[in-house]
Chain A
Amino acid sequence: MSDTVKLIIDGKEITASSEDTILLAAEKNGIEIPNLCYLKEMSPYGACGMCVVEAEGSPKLLRACSAKVAEGMVINTMGERALKARKIALELIMGDHKGDCIGPCKLNCPAHTDCQKYVKEISDGDYEGAVRTIKDVIPLPASIGRVCPHPCETACRRQFVEEPISIAYLKAFAADEILKSGKHIIPEKKASTGKTVAIIGGGPAGLSAAVKLAENGHSVSVYDKMPKMGGMLRYGIPEYRLPKKVLDAEIAEIEMLGVKMVNNITIGKDITLSEIREKYDAVLIANGAWKSSSIRCPGEDLEGVFGGIDFLRAVALGESPAIGKKTAIVGGGNTAMDACRTAVRLGAEEVSIIYRRTRDEMPAEDIEIEEAMEEGVNFRFLTNPAEIIGKDGKVCAVKLQVMKLGEPDEKGRRSPVPVEGEFITLELDSIIIAAGQKNDPAGFEDIATTKWGTISADEITYATSLLGVFAAGDTTNSGASIAIKAIAEANEAAKFIDAYLEGIEIPYKKAVISEIDPTEDMFTEYEKYPRIRMPQRAPEDRRNDFTEINLGLTPEEAKAEAKRCLSCGCHDYGHCKLIKYADSYCTDCKRLKGEYHEGFKETRLEVIARDQHKCILCGLCVRTCEEIAKKGILGLVGRGFDTVIRPEFRNTDIASICASCKKCAQVCPTGALRIL
């Protein structure tokens, strides 16, 4: 009995049934009008305000979900007023939507490794899945798992319960299990593009980019000046932390992918950058920062003074630097820790750390400091070398200025100031300066550098001043940092090299996501379950040799540890309608933030878990339960801002009334409902 009408939606003339709503008519003609509380099968509800459209001649916006079409209507679904209304609706919703779209572990990892996913895979015993997940980002999981200072753990929400998940060791565990099994996890390669890429530097950055580019079908050659690949992982990290056979095995898998490895090649000596540029379609420079920084202290040129990374590299190459019985290491970072513990293992009887601040300010990881102390290293806090004293051109002592902590600077770090006239003299056979490292510009003179002498690379595309030459990792911009950051940059750079080679542009936009501001009281529901401790060799045993000190987790330990994960990242991210709209309408999630509605978690329906913090009160679950499932279990409770959705009224037998049809969770536009 319904008539047909003609109308125009977004300039498109369409015919619709007079019974149709604007939303339905648009949908039938392939025009999507956003909505969060609408479902075709049910009567319109009108809560979300997302479907508003402009109708010519109407001063008011129309809710497309309920307004019927009419003859001659001219509808604009993307008019300025409608977009503004949607934006404010979304900002209001997002300001009261409490949840993490992405786990903080993944977000805080510079390379955005999907920690939550592989931790879950480990807890399920799916080690191969876990390694595939990690290798999606990190080609050297067993190595990185051992050495990474794990920013993921720093962000882990489990610390609000007791301690963060041991994410890095879980990564090493899964990778070790797969290495032990003899199975090689090698990514699929796309068809050859015929394009060639040279990578200078075979460290974590160079190797990561090599994998990504090879996967995309390019022919990749890695050049490195050292006899073997691995970069700082091989020549900077001591054997007792990262056994080189682990690294070898992982590099071997990269070779299996078809990456050509060329060692003992120094740029500017064996081949010039221009020659490489001529030979290859694109170049990535990832040669790291291999020069020890000076501390500008008299006596630095004496025999028996070593640079921190130079010392570690010599040991890695099998040399025995003459450090004597008494040595001291200047610095408080991880290199200083590696150096002092290596010195212990080389047989030095008295090993001291000279650090101008106190333990609290030390940039080295806590565990490294503790382990060094266990191995007998002396820590001389609040001291700073004033002069390295020599005898016959050889180090014999160091004069230390006694320091104290001054007022905190703008970053809150208290800077050390000398205590006038107070000095200590320490007798020494050698001194190792582990006070930072920098890149070596030799061979790369054609490229523009930063004021610090590092290669200047675009922060988004990693392009350098030379066409087709990209750079990533320690050699660029702000200089040396952690391996995972270099990997992250290399992966990103690979994306842009790929685009450069294919001649395509890739849009860059940071995705809008929701994040919580965690406080301890949000996590009171969880039972405390302490973090696993990595089993280790006893200090008195391990200090004598370079055999790995960590013994590895057992599968039982690893699974139990993985089960501690709170799964912060939303299960619905990727399907969530809310975040999709928030992202496409460029919403500032935090602009209209204020008090949050009363949230809670509950599982009374047994097959459905409700996280009321994420609920946007679209009412779809309530209406689906009533109108489609015909159960009417759910209801809106409370008034105004404090309104929530709960299983209503009947308390005791609610699960038995629920038909377990799961329809409510299926229609939920956010991650508030999850099928268990």
Chain B
Amino acid sequence: MRIVIGEGSCGIAAGASKVHERLSLALKDTDINIGIAGCIGMCFLEPIIDIYDGKLLLKRLVRVSPDSAEEIAEALKNNDLSALDKLEISESDSVFLKKQTRIALRRCGLIDPESIDAYTSDGGYTALKKVLTEMSPEDVIEEIKISGLAGRGGAGFPTWFKWNAARRSQGEEKYLICNADEGDPGAFMDRAVIESDPHTLIEGMLIGAYAIGAQNAYVYVRAEYPLAIVRLQKAINEATEKGYLGKNILGTDFSCFLKIKAGAGAFVCGEETALIESLEGKRGMPRLKPPFPAEKGYENKPSNINNVETFANVSWIIENGGKAFSAMGTENSKGTKVFALTGKIKRGGLVEIPMGLTLREVIYDIGGGIRDDKEFKAVQLGGPSGGCIPKELLDTVIDYKALSATGAIMGSGGMVVMDEGTCMVNMARFFLDFTTKESCGKCVHCRIGTKRMFEILTRITEGNGKDGDIELLEELCDGIRSGALCGLGQTAPNPVLTTIKYFRNEYEAHINEKRCPAGECAALRTYVIDKDKCKGCTLCAKKCPVNAISGTVKEAHIIDTDKCIKCGQCKDVCRFGAVEVR
């Protein structure tokens, strides 16, 4: 028997390391092996422990606390797993994984990310072998073309086309770059892949490098992903030792060196030309396109940039054939897509599904619906570059074309679910705050335009919106979309445009009635005490930091709305539900 603890960043954050420590202690005199794995994607159940007999999963324990370590150890020693039934994942939570189709994430959370042997014994690097010994670069590109794989970073550009352009570009020296500068708020697909299965990324990159004829490859990963960097570096070292990386890979003529470049955390460096600038040691600012990187990229040499998830699909495609990949999905979107399901959702985590599922299936069948059984309001796809999709469009299929038609985008996979308590104006404001801060400052539209939009949204949420603000926002959106230099600026208006499109009434309520329908905007909130419910316990008056509540003991209290700073503490402390927000 062996146990495997999920120790991705999310597992560790939930206490997996402590569980590991306590279990090591409790099991130190046994022959029960404790291994680690990356992230299985069920963030809501971390820490997770899998108990195996060889390759057979016997039991999956969830939400394990360090204090259960001894109990688990005892059960393992006694070989009585039924004692752990209460820790076992429930039938309903198991649905989360069962409904998925995992290709990019196929090994995540299942193998030890820090062991190349674990990877190779699971069939790793066979695709590379096949490519180097049996296929020409053109064959590889053809196979990718058959697969229909499109860039998973957000734009959805056909991967084969970019590879082909880089392959055909003049020049001996070429570069392959992996974009792991995952920056959308709420997105963590790339981190999970690198932390949980770094060799899959390396293998995909090597196949790509072979296809385009690159001798050097970089992984541009944000420095805020320390564990990913450590594990990727370890994987690079091991792969180099074993001959999968470096000079004359697997004894062939093909050589490729792989380096990690840690980015300093600028969102715009996820934009490919800004990423290249940063890689060159310059300030991360987008370049004008054309020329495209395939022609003049890193150091003005032909370069190809793909996202982590894109590369993670490559070895599977080579192993199983492009047709197997294109058999999944819809007419214009093939294969699977990983989403980071977050927000007001019951079961949040990483979800990989075949293209063509509906949003409803993902949110309700996999995600289990809205937390606390509240009403679903909207889902934000594509982070700050994306848009929101309202309840009426929940049956939209996940497919590049269908999502774009709603005004949102597929994006890199951020899927933030919002419930009735989310103010859509404030949500748009949140994303504009993000883009304003993350704009590189180069072009006028993005630098100043997003700031102005943020200011207008702020004044609307603060109850100072003016007649004409919606139209002004629309005008700015239009100007910024067509005038900004790069994708960051061009897509920055999307959250505003889609919220105006689907929730114009909320904007109008803020502006005309000075009312936030969702009750989220503090400035527009009024706290009142229901005098029938108030028992006069004085607790709220004592808690109020600005002495805005008055009243005598055992009599109904009153909030002075002029003094009230809307902190909500009265509501929190009231035991009778007498404080209402209007």
A contact set with B: CB distance below 8 Å: 44-49, 52, 60-61, 63, 65-68, 81, 84-85, 88-89, 92-93, 95-96, 592, 594-595, 616-617, 619, 635-636, 638-643
Does the CB pair B283–A92 fall under 8 Å?
no
Q: Which segment of B11-19, B224-232, B440-448 sits at the interface? A: B440-448
Asked if B2 is an interface residue, CB under 8 A from chain A, the answer is no
- Distance between Cα atoms of A553 and B287 in the complex (Å): 60
Residue of B nearest to A93 (CB): B444
Q: Which segment of B52-60, B244-252, B477-485, B538-546 sits at the interface? A: B477-485
Does the CB pair B441–A592 fall under 8 Å?
no
- Distance between Cα atoms of A44 and B485 in the complex (Å): 12
Closest chain-A Cβ to B482's Cβ sits at a distance in Å of: 6
CB-CB under 8 A from A594, the residues of chain B are 451-452, 455
Instruction: List B residues 462-490 near A (Cβ within 8 Å).
Output: 475-476, 479, 482-485
Does the CB pair A49–B440 fall under 8 Å?
no
Does the CB pair A93–B448 fall under 8 Å?
yes
Does the CB pair A636–B288 fall under 8 Å?
no
- Distance between Cα atoms of A67 and B289 in the complex (Å): 9
Q: Which segment of B199-207, B338-346, B431-439, B515-523 sits at the interface? A: B431-439
Does the CB pair B482–A638 fall under 8 Å?
no
- Distance between Cα atoms of A95 and B445 in the complex (Å): 12
Does the CB pair A61–B444 fall under 8 Å?
no
Closest chain-A Cβ to B471's Cβ sits at a distance in Å of: 13
Q: Name B288's contact: one of A45, A84, A643 (CB within 8 Å).
A: A45
Asked if B416 is an interface residue, CB under 8 A from chain A, the answer is no
A-B contact pairs, 20 of them (CB 8 A): A46-B485, A48-B443, A49-B484, A52-B482, A52-B483, A61-B483, A81-B482, A88-B445, A88-B475, A89-B445, A89-B483, A95-B448, A95-B452, A617-B447, A638-B441, A639-B266, A640-B437, A641-B448, A643-B441, A643-B447
- Distance between Cα atoms of A549 and B475 in the complex (Å): 61
- Distance between Cα atoms of A619 and B444 in the complex (Å): 11
Closest chain-B Cβ to A55's Cβ sits at a distance in Å of: 13
- Distance between Cα atoms of A84 and B483 in the complex (Å): 10
Residue of A nearest to B485 (CB): A46
Known: A88-B445, A95-B452. 4 other contacts (CB 8 A): A49-B485, A96-B448, A640-B437, A643-B440
CB-CB under 8 A from B153, the residues of chain A are none
- Distance between Cα atoms of A85 and B476 in the complex (Å): 10
Does the CB pair B436–A640 fall under 8 Å?
yes
Closest chain-A Cβ to B473's Cβ sits at a distance in Å of: 12
Asked if B290 is an interface residue, CB under 8 A from chain A, the answer is yes
Does the CB pair B455–A595 fall under 8 Å?
yes
Asked if B449 is an interface residue, CB under 8 A from chain A, the answer is yes
Does the CB pair A641–B439 fall under 8 Å?
yes
Closest chain-A Cβ to B183's Cβ sits at a distance in Å of: 13
Does the CB pair A63–B288 fall under 8 Å?
yes
CB-CB under 8 A from A592, the residues of chain B are 448, 452, 476
Instruction: List B residues 363-379 near A (Cβ within 8 Å).
Output: none
Residue of A nearest to B441 (CB): A643
Residue of B nearest to A60 (CB): B482
CB-CB under 8 A from A63, the residues of chain B are 288
CB-CB under 8 A from A638, the residues of chain B are 441
CB-CB under 8 A from B455, the residues of chain A are 594-595
Question: How many residues from B make CB contacts under 8 Å with A?
Answer: 30
Q: Name A44's contact: one of B283, B288, B437, B442 (CB within 8 Å).
A: B288
Does the CB pair A46–B447 fall under 8 Å?
no
CB-CB under 8 A from B443, the residues of chain A are 46-49
CB-CB under 8 A from A635, the residues of chain B are 283
CB-CB under 8 A from A616, the residues of chain B are 444
Q: Name B444's contact: one of A44, A92, A636, A642 (CB within 8 Å).
A: A92
CB-CB under 8 A from A639, the residues of chain B are 266, 437-441
- Distance between Cα atoms of A93 and B445 in the complex (Å): 9
Q: Answer whether A595 and B451 are a contact pair too, CB < 8 Å, given A44-B288, A639-B440.
A: yes
Does the CB pair B483–A617 fall under 8 Å?
no
- Distance between Cα atoms of A92 and B445 in the complex (Å): 7
- Distance between Cα atoms of A203 and B130 in the complex (Å): 101
Closest chain-A Cβ to B361's Cβ sits at a distance in Å of: 34
Does the CB pair B290–A66 fall under 8 Å?
yes
Residue of A nearest to B489 (CB): A49
Closest chain-A Cβ to B251's Cβ sits at a distance in Å of: 42
Does the CB pair B479–A88 fall under 8 Å?
yes
Closest chain-B Cβ to A70's Cβ sits at a distance in Å of: 11
Which of A47, A48, A67, A643 lies at the interface centre, i.e. has the most chain B CB atoms within 10 A of its CB? Answer: A47
Closest chain-B Cβ to A36's Cβ sits at a distance in Å of: 9
CB-CB under 8 A from A52, the residues of chain B are 482-483
Residue of B nearest to A644 (CB): B441
- Distance between Cα atoms of A89 and B451 in the complex (Å): 13
- Distance between Cα atoms of A61 and B476 in the complex (Å): 16
Does the CB pair A640–B479 fall under 8 Å?
no
- Distance between Cα atoms of A652 and B322 in the complex (Å): 60
CB-CB under 8 A from B482, the residues of chain A are 52, 60-61, 81, 85
- Distance between Cα atoms of A44 and B273 in the complex (Å): 14
Closest chain-B Cβ to A101's Cβ sits at a distance in Å of: 19
- Distance between Cα atoms of A621 and B288 in the complex (Å): 19
Does the CB pair B288–A617 fall under 8 Å?
no
- Distance between Cα atoms of A193 and B448 in the complex (Å): 53
CB-CB under 8 A from A640, the residues of chain B are 436-441, 447, 450-451
- Distance between Cα atoms of A96 and B441 in the complex (Å): 13
CB-CB under 8 A from B447, the residues of chain A are 617, 640-641, 643
Which of A60, A67, A84 lies at the interface centre, i.e. has the most chain B CB atoms within 10 A of its CB? Answer: A84
CB-CB under 8 A from A642, the residues of chain B are 441
CB-CB under 8 A from B285, the residues of chain A are 636
CB-CB under 8 A from A47, the residues of chain B are 442-444, 485
CB-CB under 8 A from A67, the residues of chain B are 290
- Distance between Cα atoms of A645 and B447 in the complex (Å): 14
- Distance between Cα atoms of A63 and B442 in the complex (Å): 15
CB-CB under 8 A from B440, the residues of chain A are 639-640, 643
- Distance between Cα atoms of A616 and B484 in the complex (Å): 15
Q: Name B441's contact: one of A45, A48, A66, A617 (CB within 8 Å).
A: A617
Residue of B nearest to A94 (CB): B448
CB-CB under 8 A from A619, the residues of chain B are 442
Q: Name A636's contact: one of B283, B448, B450, B452 (CB within 8 Å).
A: B283
Closest chain-A Cβ to B440's Cβ sits at a distance in Å of: 7
Closest chain-B Cβ to A192's Cβ sits at a distance in Å of: 52
- Distance between Cα atoms of A93 and B447 in the complex (Å): 10
Q: Answer whether A641 and B441 are a contact pair too, CB < 8 Å, given A45-B288, A92-B448, A95-B448.
A: yes
- Distance between Cα atoms of A44 and B291 in the complex (Å): 11
Q: Name B483's contact: one of A65, A68, A88, A95 (CB within 8 Å).
A: A88
CB-CB under 8 A from A49, the residues of chain B are 443-445, 483-485
- Distance between Cα atoms of A651 and B441 in the complex (Å): 23
- Distance between Cα atoms of A51 and B439 in the complex (Å): 21
CB-CB under 8 A from B476, the residues of chain A are 88, 592
- Distance between Cα atoms of A96 and B484 in the complex (Å): 17
- Distance between Cα atoms of A528 and B452 in the complex (Å): 36
Closest chain-B Cβ to A59's Cβ sits at a distance in Å of: 9
Closest chain-B Cβ to A69's Cβ sits at a distance in Å of: 13
Instruction: List B residues 261-291 near A (Cβ within 8 Å).
Output: 266, 283, 285, 287-288, 290
Which of B441, B442, B452, B479 lies at the interface centre, i.e. has the most chain A CB atoms within 10 A of its CB? Answer: B441
- Distance between Cα atoms of A92 and B290 in the complex (Å): 26
CB-CB under 8 A from A92, the residues of chain B are 444-445, 448-449, 452, 479
- Distance between Cα atoms of A616 and B447 in the complex (Å): 10
- Distance between Cα atoms of A472 and B354 in the complex (Å): 81
Residue of A nearest to B284 (CB): A639
Which of A45, A49, A84, A595 lies at the interface centre, i.e. has the most chain B CB atoms within 10 A of its CB? Answer: A49
- Distance between Cα atoms of A639 and B449 in the complex (Å): 14
- Distance between Cα atoms of A406 and B445 in the complex (Å): 52
Which of A47, A63, A92, A643 lies at the interface centre, i.e. has the most chain B CB atoms within 10 A of its CB? Answer: A92
- Distance between Cα atoms of A595 and B448 in the complex (Å): 10
CB-CB under 8 A from B485, the residues of chain A are 46-47, 49
Residue of A nearest to B266 (CB): A639
Closest chain-B Cβ to A62's Cβ sits at a distance in Å of: 11
